[in-house]
């Protein structure tokens, strides 16, 4: 995938690259529909780029659903940058790490995607959210296990096993 403005080739695997290193443009072209959640793909864009915002009612309903039961939260990618503890959208993002900036909260969580190329959810690499009830840490390598295929770090001897 190249830059929509200047055509400079981008590094799709570099999650820390928020935009084009040449002209600074975001990976989204101005002609794309910024209102559609489907237009943002975490596998194609950098994590430093803001995804389009869902409607306020949709976000409130999702937050209520996952506050009471966090199973399956990894599938609600629009909540990756929303603090479920206080509802704040003021979140500091450093790679996969997230920290709520609300002074009374300061919750922390981790967001990434499955390391296995073949592990896909809705055509995209399966997301991992440490707040999900099905996401655990591997007892060998310490990485978060994918809630879909249970893999962790690729060289870990237990990768792909449900119990850690």
Q: Which two tokens mark 26? A: 């975001």
The more confidently predicted of residues 78 and 160 is 78
DSSP alpha helix (H) spans, the chain: 56-68
| pLDDT for the residue 59 | 83
Question: Confidence band (pLDDT; 50, 70, 90) for 9?
Answer: low
The pTM of the whole model exceeds 0.85:
no
Q: Backbone phi, then psi, for 8, in 5-degree steps?
A: -60, 130
Contact 93, 8 (CB under 8 A): no
Count the Cβ atoms, other than its own, within 10 Å of residue 60.
Answer: 12
Length of the chain: 164
For range 53-75, the mean pLDDT: 81
């Amino acid at each position: 995938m190249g830059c929509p403005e200047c055509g400079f080739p981008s590094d799709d695997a570099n999650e820390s690259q928020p935009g084009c290193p040449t002209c600074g443009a975001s990976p989204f072209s101005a002609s794309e529909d910024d209102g559609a959640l489907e237009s943002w793909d975490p596998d194609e864009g950098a994590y430093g780029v803001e995804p389009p915002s869902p409607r306020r009612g949709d976000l409130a309903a999702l937050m209520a659903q996952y506050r009471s039961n966090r199973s399956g939260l990894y599938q609600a990618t629009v909540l990756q940058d929303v603090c479920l503890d206080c509802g704040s959208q003021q979140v500091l993002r450093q790679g996969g790490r997230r920290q709520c900036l609300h002074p009374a909260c300061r919750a922390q969580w981790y967001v990434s995607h499955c390391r296995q190329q073949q592990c896909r959810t809705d055509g995209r690499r399966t997301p991992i959210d440490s707040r999900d009830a099905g996401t655990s840490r591997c007892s060998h390598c310490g990485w978060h296990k994918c809630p879909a295929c249970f893999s962790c770090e690729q060289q870990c001897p237990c990768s792909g096993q449900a119990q850690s």
